[in-house]
Structures are given as C-alpha cells and as structure tokens.
Amino acid sequence: MSAQTLVRSDIALWFGSDMGHRKPSIIRVPTTAQILSRVRLWQTDFTMWREKRAYRGVPREKIQSNAGFVVGCQRSGTDMVLWTLDRSLDVDRFDENHRAAFVSCRIKNKATRQRLIDKSNAKRVIFKPVCDSHRAVRLLNDHADARMIWVYRDFRDVANSAVARWGEMNLEYIRELRDGGGDWGFHQWNRELMAGEKPSELESLYTENLTVYDAAALFWYFVNATFFEQALAGRDDVLLIRYEDLVSSPAVEFPRLCDFLDIGYRKEMIDSVFASSVRRRSKGPIGDHIAQVCLELQGRLDRACEASRGQPDFHLSAP
C-alpha cells in the first residue's frame, strides 16, 4: 500500500463515509487541533510505510499471506483497532474507504480480495468490512487460515458517537426499514440485516417518538445480534473483543490480538490508544424499552468475550 493511499483513505473519514450511506453524510470541518493530530498520524503512517518496505526487503523465506477481518457495528472502535494493528510490520490494511478492496464501503468479491492478499508480502492482510459484518461466516470461508476480530462497545457510547457523526441518518434508516426499506441498490446492507424475526422485533420496539439515540442504539443491537445469529461464539478463527478493554489495557489486549493474528507486536503500536471516549453517556437519552434489549445483548456479548479468555463473568454493562 502506498503512502498516498494511506493519506487519501484517512481523509475520507472526515466526511462520514464509513457507513455506506446512500445519502450525503454530515460534512464536518476539522478544527486546527484535529488537523494537527491527523498530520501527526500521517507522519506516523509514512514512517511505518518506510519501515515496512525496509523490513520486508530483507532476504527471508517466502511467507504465506493470509486474510484478516475487523468487523462490528460502526462507531465501536474498529478504526482504532485497524490502525493500531497496521503498526505491526507484518500487516497491510484495507479499510472501507480503500477503492482497491471496497465499493461504497461494501467489500469486493472473493477473487479481488484474494488478488490483494497474493500480491502482499505481509503475513496478514487485514480488511475492515463493517458493512458486511452480517456476512462474517462467508468471509471466513472464502479464505484459508483467515482470522476475524469482532469489536463491540457499550451501546450508549456508540449511540452518542453515531449521532455526533451522522445526525438523523440512523433515524431515517430505521423509519425506512420499518416501512419496507425501498430499493437501496448497493447500500442494501441495512436491509440484509433484517432477516428472520428482526422485522417483527423492530415493529415491537418502534414508537412514533423514536429519538436519534434510540435509532442508533437499535442499529447497534441489530448488527451485534448477528454475532450470535451466525454462531461465531466459540470459533477458533473469531476473537470477540470489548472496546473498553482495548483502550483501558492496551498493553495486555493488543499483544493478545497480535498473537491471535500471528503477527509481530511492538510496544510502539499502542502509543495512540487512549480511553477518553469510554462511558461518555450524558448526551443521549435512550428509551427504557430499547435500552433493556441492548443491555441484555451487551451482557451476552460480555459473557462470550470472557468465556474466550477462560475467565469468570465480569462485564461493564451496568447502567
């Protein structure tokens, strides 16, 4: 991946293009502090690009490149996970704004992905198809020795972040899904989520005074419910990880992620990981009926996450 591609992909994140929207997202003008922070990240990316070129140029045995995926609900920290893992010398990354691997945030077909993997000289080529999280099993089955990381975050923090980024977008989508959805073309991933009992479940949760925070919480619920619908819990090739654990204990959690992906870990990888966004819940009131189903699912995710560690149940889902 070129240094120019890294910058172009990063710029796209300023314009809300990470949800595969069929409508224009909110255009956010970055502050001076945000611009300076992003420039520092670009400098880090460029340095990493040079280090990777030098590292992989050293004569060594031919390595087998394998696929990796980072999935989960939008605004759950998947960007942070991908960028941090990309600081391993053994990783090439393709986020949902990378045109070689994605179209309108939907991941391209198996043949295209495999060509990118075969072309790479990294041990792990990691894609971030969050709009295809409900197709996790298909993605894993498409590539031998693939590994997947499913990131989840407290639904209240996700709702706050989603509203800050997209305004009423989730509310419009929920209303359209309830009314049948219409023809969204390539952006049909939202409709694809609504399989099985979900339409009737949405009807039972929907009210005419639904807020933007209610809608964002519902999207969190419908996306993360597919983790269990796809029977991903307990699979050796899937690692469920809690965002709050990653940012509060990065020196513990990211080496575990790297070990799972069979890539090298360096302590410099976590220099930009911080926990300031955890439990920022004061902005968004969520109706009790929606909060209850989200809390139940979050508790189930917490238990599955801890089961993968072989630890007793402990979770952060309490109000």
Amino acid identity, residue 285? Answer: P
Residue 70 bridge partners (DSSP): 149
pLDDT at 110: 98
Q: Which of 74, 12, 63 is nearest to 38 (CA)?
A: 12
Number of structural domains (the chain) is 1
Within a domain: 312: no
Helices 3-12 and 32-57 sit at what angle, rounded to 10 degrees? 150
Within a domain: 319: no
Assess whether pLDDT exceeds 90 at residue 7. Answer: no
Q: How far is CA 76 from CA 20, 154, 312, in A?
A: 16, 8, 24
More confident residue, 280 or 13: 280
Within a domain: 185: yes
Q: In this structure, are residues 146 and 66 in contact, taking their beta carbons and an 8 Å threshold?
A: yes
Tokens describing residue 249: 């204990």
Within a domain: 273: yes
Mean pLDDT over the full length of the chain: 84
3-state SS class at 307:
helix
Within a domain: 315: no
pLDDT at 18: 52
Give the span between the Cα atoms of 62 and 170, in whole angstroms.
46
Domain holding 270, by residue range, is 3-307
Among 29-43, 145-159, 267-281, the least confident range: 29-43
pLDDT at 94: 96
pLDDT tens column, 212-246: 999 999 999 999 999 999 999 999 999 999 999 99
Amino acid identity, residue 207? Answer: T
Own/partner pairs for 196-202, CB < 8 Å, 24+ apart? 196/229, 198/222, 198/225, 202/174, 202/177, 202/178
3-state SS class at 266:
coil
More confident residue, 285 or 236: 236
Q: What is the mean pLDDT of residues 145-157?
A: 97
pLDDT tens column, 22-41: 444 445 567 787 677 667 76
In this structure, what DSSP letter does residue 19 have? S
Q: What is the mean pLDDT of residues 291-303?
A: 97
Within a domain: 142: yes
Q: Residue 98: which CATH number?
A: 3.40.50
Within a domain: 175: yes
Percent of the chain with pLDDT over 70: 79
Q: What is the mean pLDDT of residues 304-314?
A: 72
Among 175-179, 187-191, 283-287, 304-308, the least confident range: 187-191
Among 84-88, 173-177, 256-260, the least confident range: 173-177
Give the span between the Cα atoms of 127 and 98, in whole angstroms.
10
Q: How far is CA 31 from CA 7, 28, 34, 56, in A?
A: 18, 9, 5, 37
pLDDT at 11: 45
Helices 212-229 and 169-178 sit at what angle, rounded to 10 degrees? 60
pLDDT tens column, 80-116: 999 999 999 999 999 999 999 999 889 999 999 999 9
Q: What is the mean pLDDT of residues 48-58?
A: 77
Q: CB-based burial of residue 137 (10 Å sphere; 0-12 exposed, 13-18 middle, 19+ buried)?
A: middle
